[in-house]
Amino acid sequence: MFRDNPLLSQLKQNMRQNTPSVEGTVKGTERGFGFLEADDGESYFIAPPHMKKIMHGDRIKAYIETNGDKTSAEPDTLVEAKLTRFIARISMTKNKLTVLADSPVINMPIRAKLVGLGKQKVNDGDWVVAQLKSHALKDGSFAAEVTGFVATATDPNAPWWVTLARQDLAKDVPAMPDSVEFKDDTTRIDLTDKPFFTIDSASTQDMDDALLVENTAEGNLKVTVAIADPTSYIPADSELNKIAAERAFTVYLPGRNIPMMPRELSDSVCSLVAGEKRPTLCCTYTINEDGALAEEFEFFTAWITSQHKLSYTQVSNWIEEVSTEWQPEAQLAEQLQSLATFARHRQQWRKNNAIVFPDQPDYSFELDDSGNVLAIHVEHRRIANQMIEETMVAANITAARLFRQNGDVGVFNTHAGFDPEKIDLVVELLTEHGIECTKEHIQSLPGYVELQRTLAEKANPALDSRLRRMQSYSIISASAERHFAMGLDGYATWTSPIRKYGDIINHRLIKATLTNGSAPSATEDEVILMSERRRQHRMAERDISSWLYVDYLTPAVESKQAFEASIMDVNRGGLRVRLLENGAVAFVPASLLHDNKKEVKCLVETGQISIKDQVEYSLGDVIYVNIAEINKEKRNIVAKPVEKIAS
């Protein structure tokens, strides 16, 4: 009887006018309630009945209700829905089609209908792509359309297909055209008699860089970097180029990769296979005894024949004298020793004059034919990795110099340092930690580099973590900009054209300088797509790793195996740790740190957790944990300390 009552509506409107409202982002939880993280920095509780009208990540306007000393948010208006295109599983409820979003914090079934699947049938548990078409806060109820099929419920490849579909990445390998013609308008030097060699992982097939190392009479080191030349087979106006531009990168995931170009090109025709003559784009540069990169350099095209396919492991074992199982011939041994010396000198120069990222181990999954994890191997960065890294970094610095000499046109990796909108907070935080600086100084490249050295000396993980949140994002740019995170005036990659479309563009631009010709530069849309694809690839690698870790660590719940773990984040619910043995990330809720949750304080700002006002856990600490719980559906790993702090 009160429905559509104008007096009641007027009363509600009058009450709303006297109730404060805020905008913010919804944070859901697995327990039905949520929080509104308001734009003003406050956090407001959202009761379960209200959460049924909204979803995690939604931006909403809400009214703030006060009851005694407690406040809560009542959703009023949808500003922007977080869920639009999403991955879901089919759920048949009372013969009605619903979908369950593949999300750790969105648990409600959403009614759905099939659109555009043709004759494709779907069954309970199948993986699909869906589009949200109506929102409960705006339209009264949630509804979705199923627009794509991903995998059956029992498909052993589902983790990979779901991960790729979630990021909207292609899962197929590009088809090779009936014929590919070699075209070249440069004058190629014949270097097929020179002893070039490659160093890659033992399983690598798409080898795109080979090296030649020579000592000069002045005591310096001359390095020739020869890079595979796919642009001689892929014209800028070809269909293959369109495919490479759309994909932007080769996708590397545990257990498989999806190439940017047909495998016949990436793994054979263009790959610098030992003993095979290949066209290359080359750069020769010189490194002085102190590790400085000389100003003189030369780019040219050449034919080479790599004489050796080497692996990181065999080269590192030999140089580090770990094993004598493999021994290089005399000429190769001299090159490798010279390159190792170069890498050490060059890395020291960059530590003194630029910025070198701290070494972090890589973790590789060993899988069986069905995609099950047999083992996870820790791969520390060794001397051979440093040798290749330093030669490629120097080559990319050299390309940036070339582009600066030719109108600043190219594809550049850039980083602007601290976010300008947060620079005042940065200065305030540094001052609190005894680091006096001005915002003008740390916004300059020399000042930023100096600050990073100071921070490295302080070795304060909590401070480093807080400052990372105030950094700008690294982006790909079509104009020459500095790379603050590397401490470099410019950085333009061209050494992986088999795997990166930006490097293909740079190859064409470099070749244009050799022939006094022209080549298309990157458009704004292209660099935006490259940045987005790079983000999607990182997310895909993270997602598939999480899936594999959950399966691999499930037996550890029963065995109660203890893992050494590093604290990598502190939030208001607890802390996140990385298991050092295998790289898995787990969450340790505050409730598992101490029996009395009221005595636990999560000090997010300082990266610490105190118990009974005594700091017990800090960012960077190494602790021992057990796996307490694994949720395979949500792909969550919950850990607990081996020894809980006593009450």
Q: Mean pLDDT across the stretch 331-345? A: 96
Query: Considering 58, 102, 126, 200, which one is annotated as catalytic?
Result: 200
Return the DSSP state at 2: -
- Nearest Cα neighbor of 462 from 279, 234, 620 is 620
Tell me, yes or no, if 569 is annotated catalytic. Answer: no
Cα–Cα dist 546/585, whole Å: 8
At the topology level, CATH places domain 13-80 in OB fold (Dihydrolipoamide Acetyltransferase, E2P) (2.40.50)
Number of H helices, E strands in the chain: 15, 31
**Does the structure show a pLDDT above 70 at 9?**
no
**Does the structure show a pLDDT above 80 at 625?**
yes
Cα–Cα dist 640/575, whole Å: 10
Mean pLDDT of the chain: 93
User: Minimum mean pLDDT among 2-6, 317-321, 379-383, 627-631: which range?
Assistant: 2-6
Cα–Cα dist 290/359, whole Å: 22
End-to-end Cα, the chain, rounded Å: 56
Q: Mean pLDDT across the stretch 552-558? A: 97
Query: Considering 102, 126, 206, 503, which one is annotated as catalytic?
Result: 206
Greater pLDDT, 19 or 272? 272
The total number of residues shown for the chain amounts to 647
**Does the structure show a pLDDT above 90 at 273?**
yes
Cα–Cα dist 218/213, whole Å: 15
**Does the structure show a pLDDT above 70 at 38?**
yes
Q: Mean pLDDT across the stretch 290-308? A: 97
Cα–Cα dist 573/71, whole Å: 19
Q: What 3-state DSSP class applies to 438?
A: coil
Cα–Cα dist 629/213, whole Å: 53
Q: Mean pLDDT across the stretch 7-14? A: 61
Q: What is the pLDDT of residues 451-488, one digit of tens each?
A: 999 999 988 888 998 899 999 999 999 999 999 999 99
Q: Mean pLDDT across the stretch 519-527? A: 94
Cα–Cα dist 530/527, whole Å: 5
Q: Mean pLDDT across the stretch 551-564? A: 96
Residues of the chain with CATH 2.40.50.640: 85-155
Query: Considering 89, 499, 533, 635, which one is annotated as catalytic?
Result: 499
Q: Mean pLDDT across the stretch 70-77? A: 92
Using CA atoms, how far residue 484 sits from 389, 417, 467, 564, in Å, is: 18, 5, 14, 33
Using CA atoms, how far residue 51 sits from 24, 81, 311, in Å, is: 14, 14, 54
Residue 92: band (very low, low, confident or very high) from pLDDT cuts 50, 70, 90: confident
- Nearest Cα neighbor of 437 from 458, 465, 467, 448 is 448
Give, in degrees to the nearest 5, the angle at Cα 252 between 247 and 254.
145
pLDDT, residue 609, reads 94
Asked if 498 contacts 264 with a C-beta cutoff of 8 angstroms, the reply is: no
Query: Considering 44, 233, 285, 312, which one is annotated as catalytic?
Result: 312
pLDDT, residue 1, reads 46
Q: 1.10.10.10, 3.10.20.90, 2.40.50.140, 2.170.190.11: which CATH number matches 560-641?
A: 2.40.50.140
DSSP helix, strand, coil percent of the chain (3-state; round to 5): 30, 35, 35
- Tokens for 21? 């409202």
pLDDT, residue 626, reads 97
**Does the structure show a pLDDT above 70 at 12?**
no
* Mode of pairing for the β-strands spanning 308-311 and 197-200: parallel
Cα–Cα dist 179/263, whole Å: 14
- Nearest Cα neighbor of 557 from 577, 586, 534 is 586
Cα–Cα dist 363/36, whole Å: 37
**HEC-encoded secondary structure of 168-211:** CCCCCCCCCCCCCCCCCCCCCEECCCCCCEEEECCCCCCCCEEE
Residue 7: band (very low, low, confident or very high) from pLDDT cuts 50, 70, 90: low
pLDDT, residue 137, reads 96
**Does the structure show a pLDDT above 70 at 8?**
no
Residue 40: band (very low, low, confident or very high) from pLDDT cuts 50, 70, 90: confident
Longest CA–CA span in the chain (Å) reads 99
Tell me, yes or no, if 499 is annotated catalytic. Answer: yes
Q: Mean pLDDT across the stretch 405-416? A: 95
**Does the structure show a pLDDT above 60 at 646?**
no
Tell me, yes or no, if 200 is annotated catalytic. Answer: yes
79-85's contacts with Cβ under 8 Å and 24+ in sequence apart are 79/23, 81/55, 81/132, 81/135, 81/138, 82/26, 82/55, 82/56, 82/57, 82/58, 83/55, 83/57, 83/58, 83/132, 84/131, 84/132, 85/129, 85/130, 85/131, 85/132, 85/168
Establish how many alpha carbons lie within 13 A of residue 326's alpha carbon, considering only the half-sphere containing its beta carbon. Answer: 16
Q: Mean pLDDT across the stretch 346-374? A: 93
Q: Could you confirm whether domain 85-155 is CATH 2.40.50.640?
A: yes
User: Minimum mean pLDDT among 153-167, 243-257, 456-470, 627-641: which range?
Assistant: 456-470
Q: Scan for tokens 């773990």, then name that residue.
A: 565
**Does the structure show a pLDDT above 70 at 13?**
no
**Does the structure show a pLDDT above 70 at 5?**
no
Cα–Cα dist 391/313, whole Å: 18
Cα–Cα dist 331/154, whole Å: 54
Conformational region of residue 171, where left means phi above 0, alpha means psi within -120 to 50, and beta covers everything else: alpha
Residues of the chain with CATH 2.40.50.140: 13-80, 560-641
Residue 350: band (very low, low, confident or very high) from pLDDT cuts 50, 70, 90: very high
pLDDT, residue 604, reads 87
**Does the structure show a pLDDT above 90 at 582?**
yes
pLDDT, residue 116, reads 83
Share of the chain above pLDDT 70, in %: 97
Q: What 3-state DSSP class applies to 578?
A: strand
Alpha-helical segments (H) within 61-108: none
Cα–Cα dist 216/287, whole Å: 10
Residue 434 corresponds to which amino acid? G
* Mode of pairing for the β-strands spanning 143-151 and 127-134: antiparallel
- CA torsion angle 435 440 446 447 (round to 10): 0
Residue 118: band (very low, low, confident or very high) from pLDDT cuts 50, 70, 90: confident
DSSP string, 123-153: -TT-EEEEEEEE-HHHHSS-EEEEEEEEE-T
